Amino acid sequence: MSESTLLLIEVGALLLALGLLSRFANRVGISAIPLFLLAGLAFGHGGALPLSASEGFFETGSEIGVILLLLMLGLEYTAGELVESLSRSRAAGLLDAALNATPGALFALLLGWGPVAAIALAGVTWVSSSGVIAGVLRDLGRLGNRETPTILSVLVIEDLAMAFYLPILAAVVIGAGLLEGATTLVIAVAAVCAILYLALRHGRQVSRLFTATHPESLLLGVLGLTILVAGVAQQVNVSAAVGAFLVGIALSGQVAHSAEELLSPLRDLFAAIFFVFFGLATDPVDMLPVLLPAALLGIATMATKVVTGYLAARRAGMGVPGRWRAGFALTPRGEFSIVIAGLAVGSGVEPQLAPLATAYVLITVVAGPLLSRIPDTAWFRTAVRRRGDAQRAAASG
């Protein structure tokens, strides 16, 4: 069988399986994301039926999936809303870093991995997965909720912080000199500022490049611009996700609305591929020795993420249900955590960091979508209401 024929068969069979899994998830009322990840594990390295010809396709598709997820999130908000949200959530961003990076650093030091590995593991536990969270918010119909801008602002602060963190980490793990590391950081910061300036100040001019009345040109143009900006951003050590998000922010009016409708099916396709590839690239055997430490770290840092989201939403004036929804939604880690671990291990830092990070991310990425549904359950709403009634009774008494 030729390579191209095998590629078509593998891709077709896996997409068909994903469609059936998605239908099953919809019928039982759960998110399809954990099922996509488990499917990736089943067909990946060390799985029951490993794929041989289509891994490159899914790797590229997964990158496009993250880009489209963040583009669609950006289309939901205007530049003014972004600035207001970031300004309101600065304290939440600092709290987020303190609560979630510290456990990772301490855990690495307790394992005796040294300070460089501690810096890397701090990043792994700090940053939530924008791709997974965007998918969860979409699946649960929460993109229009009042707490979503708060969740989004925390994610954006984290992604922007990665523009500073990744160059510093790269310089540390390879032992680069001060001048080289500083140069890399300056280039990354300048790129973020330039993209952000264009999005905030010249968004209308960007929107005029397209017309909402011609679907073909709008689809191709917006998709091309997004991938181009994401690629340029990644080239200068800035997250491709940040670039895609800022393109979405830059588009406005009818152009943004029409682009959202046209790109939604593509977003759904490539987002599914993103989640599957994450599982495909993971060998379950490598995770077994570090599964217990990863689970302990996952429990601890999912709890700190819930606290982060709860406090950020409270500061933004959300009600108690919205605070809990924000907290649980932030628990999954994902693409950045894997990138950080890969960068560290590829430079000779602690080899167990990669399987630990993979197991940790899989635990949080499977648990996160399930935890996100807790605030919508009847028993949780009843518990929150009773606690509120008790607090009001105590205050009045």
| Tens of pLDDT, residues 357-374 | 888 988 898 888 889 989
Does position 177 have pLDDT exceeding 60, yes or no? no
Is the Cβ–Cβ distance between 240 and 66 less than 8 Å?
yes
Does position 157 have pLDDT exceeding 90, yes or no? no
Confidence of residue 346 (pLDDT cuts 50, 70, 90): low
Average pLDDT over residues 44-65: 75
Average pLDDT over residues 274-300: 84
Name the more confident of 342 and 63. Answer: 63
Pick the most confident of 6-10, 84-88, 330-334: 330-334
Q: Left, alpha or beta for 253 (phi > 0: left; psi -120 to 50: alpha)?
A: left
Domain boundaries, the chain: 3-51+61-377
pLDDT value of residue 176:
52
* 273: amino acid identity, one letter: I
Range from 102-116, 179-193, 209-223 carrying the lowest mean pLDDT? 179-193
Confidence of residue 1 (pLDDT cuts 50, 70, 90): low
Does position 382 have pLDDT exceeding 60, yes or no? yes
Q: Residues 6 or more apart from 248 whose CB is under 8 A from it? A: 70, 71, 72, 73, 74, 75, 76, 77, 226, 256
Kindly report the CATH number that applies to the domain delimited by 3-51+61-377.
1.20.1530.20
DSSP character string of 103-164: HHHHHHHHTT--HHHHHHHHHHHH---HHHHHHHHHHTT-TTSTTHHHHHHHHHHHHHHHHH
Helix (H, G, I), strand (E, B) or coil at 283: coil
Confidence of residue 80 (pLDDT cuts 50, 70, 90): low
pTM given for the model: 0.73
Read off the tokens for 192.
């973020």
